[in-house]
């Protein structure tokens, strides 16, 4: 039996209920191919490499499944292309069966430890802030001087090029 993974991107602005509905719709359409869904989860919201339908961000969703009727898989692919909610999708063949994904839940102990570490970190940062403010001011002045020098050099080069023409 072959295993597949489909990664698809939907609009990042969709609410959770609408996103779940879209995932259900994709799952129902895949069920028509008699495929068995192993994992179907939201991977997260990420910035797109380029704008797709004027969207800069997208919600990535991973769908892993065991292949069913291979004759109906092109119909699923066509449905994904025609679905207005799906910005892009890609299906690949997996070399082995994917493991079932289990959501990790944070225990209360981990939360308490994190809060303690955060409070200690804030105290240390407050001490560092007063020292770093004066250093940042000196660095920004030096950066401004470098930018002005570079812009003067560029202007001189442009003038010499225009004089040659």
Q: Is pLDDT above 90 for 103?
A: no
Q: What is the pTM of this model?
A: 0.60
pLDDT-based confidence at residue 116 (cuts at 50, 70, 90): low
Out of 9-13, 39-43, 160-164, least confident range: 160-164
Measured CA to CA, the distance from residue 73 to residue 75 in angstroms comes to: 5
pLDDT at 84 over 80: yes
Give the confidence band of 47 by pLDDT, cuts at 50, 70, 90: very high
Beta-carbon neighbour count of residue 33 at 10 Å?
19
Which regions of the chain does DSSP assign to beta strands (E)? 3-11, 36-52, 55-66, 86-94
136: Cα within 13 Å, side-chain hemisphere? 6
pLDDT in tens, 13-32: 888 899 999 999 999 999 99
The whole-number average pLDDT for the span 3-8 is 92
Contacts of 119 (CB under 8 A, 6+ apart): none
Q: Does the structure show a pLDDT above 70 at 144? A: no
pLDDT over 60 (residue 125): no
Residue 82 exposure: Cα atoms within 13 Å on the Cβ side: 7
């Amino acid at each position: 039996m072959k295993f597949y993974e489909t990664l698809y991107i939907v609009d990042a602005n969709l609410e959770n209920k609408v996103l779940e509905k879209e995932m259900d719709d994709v799952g129902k359409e895949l069920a028509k191919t008699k495929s068995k869904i192993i994992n179907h989860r939201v991977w997260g919201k990420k910035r797109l490499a380029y704008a797709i339908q004027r969207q800069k961000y997208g919600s990535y969703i991973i769908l892993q499944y065991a292949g069913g009727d291979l004759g109906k898989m092109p119909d699923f692919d066509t449905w994904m292309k025609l679905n207005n909610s799906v910005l892009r999708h890609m299906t690949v063949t997996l070399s082995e069966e994917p493991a079932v994904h289990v959501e990790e839940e944070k225990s209360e102990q981990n939360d308490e430890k994190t809060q303690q570490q955060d409070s200690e970190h804030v105290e240390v940062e407050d001490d560092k802030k007063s020292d770093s403010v004066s250093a940042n001011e000196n660095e920004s002045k030096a950066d401004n001087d470098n930018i002005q020098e570079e812009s003067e050099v560029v202007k001189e080069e442009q003038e010499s090029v225009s004089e040659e023409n």
